[in-house]
Structure 1
């Protein structure tokens, strides 16, 4: 035996088996007796052999073992959002069971930046996941299509060449809107997620709703209308963060003609509106009702408990992982749409007298 690093052939010779049999012992696949596998692994331990070179295995299989996850925003913002974290947790847990790694790819933080990260164009990946949907003629999805990378789009529009996993957020937002209408509210404002990669901030004209490119934002506006609500004002935010909700709340509520209710497209935005109402000395829901979307546990908002539309965040991530598995097997999974549920908390009540 040479003084160089032991090879799989060395292990096979010591165990008295062929190299192909030794390879099967390490891969855990194929017809091999348990006693033979134990003999191969014992020989490997004796020789100090740690296993086949992963790069060589990847080259032989034609796969990288990596799933590229495009988060659609700066990582520093995404990791402040419990929605992103819980979906990623469900996804990574499912992929880990398949021995797949994850490459996180951020989105642009400035409209002046290129819309497609260089990693999307060049990084090795077996499947790509667009975590927060795609818009009309999405440049990231276009780049992945040109590379021929199988793709899962989360909360996007079903298309023949991509797998999709989403939630029935339009119906959920309609339920939240009807809840406010049933309480007597007619002057209802909306705090929205970004319309597009420009990530504008401030009150926008109602006709701009039709210009929203991001599908999540569009569907939740459509759900409001399904529930009988035409918002009296719309405040677009650049991201789903508490501070943006607070800025929206101050702009909408610090005025004599304030709305009696604010329907927000995320729970973090809604919690920011609640904090702004407190700052302004307004009672929630006595002076203004606030509802959100996501179903997050926000103990720091106590004693308030948000009225919200709860979505199955971890299960959504797990479903994305299962779609990845089917694509790797050469199958095209059917679109998945998970149900959501209105949960009435303490932040909504009858319209003020």
Structure 2
């Protein structure tokens, strides 16, 4: 079936877990919940389980992303596990090649390497991560070229005297991640799969997809474009319950705007008591693609989103304070996808 007529149940659904640290909880609690969610979504038929590299954020526990990928892969059996993403300018490409070469050697055929060029943190923390190395992300294409050559020396522009062991010769899918047009165009030119952050940059989605598809060059990796879109989805038994649960997500972004470092907060009855009209408008812009509601509402909005974007895959993220309700949200989405 052509991309213009894709139905929702014909594309894979995946998971982005930000390993939320909730108010009153610890990173250890977040990791325990992460394993339960990974096993739950694997049983429900989700395609991938990705974690994101963030630093100095008291509501996200996935800073040591490669370590957690191994932990999730060890505690599941078939779901693909990967990074959404590793922020490549924070690291030496050789280190990433070795880490993911190790992961692929331990869990063959199940590891994805998603790469971003932002620091995943504030500038002071980025400096602490990168030490003396100055990078504003503009050297991302060169870092990516070096990394890919460690896996496949034939991609090197000059002889490679250094080898990634493990890593060299392994076929690890590399994805480029983005919230603007830079990685969209680059991934198209290189013939790589592309994942766009519609969950926090919805206004740039269509332009980025257009750039990716227009610049796509078939490669050994892909014959045709493959675009996966990150999407906030909060599903519950009723629209009212889902909107209530979503106030934790709203508070998280409100705290980011205010530079207020806080764990993920419990839901509240009335956000108007917390945000100003200006802040409310800013959050509506940033979270405008979020799908929140009952099974019927989520189904309708998902169909509309997929029809508009022609997405090849959806990656669901759900910042819900109550872990059991978070599990239930992913279950409702799976029921929708499976036509139940």
**Into which bin does the TM-score normalised by the smaller protein fall?**
under 0.3
**Relative contact order higher in (CA < 8 Å, ≥ 6 apart):** 2
- Structure 1 or 2: more helix by fraction: 2
TM-score by length of 1: 0.27
TM-score by length of 2: 0.27
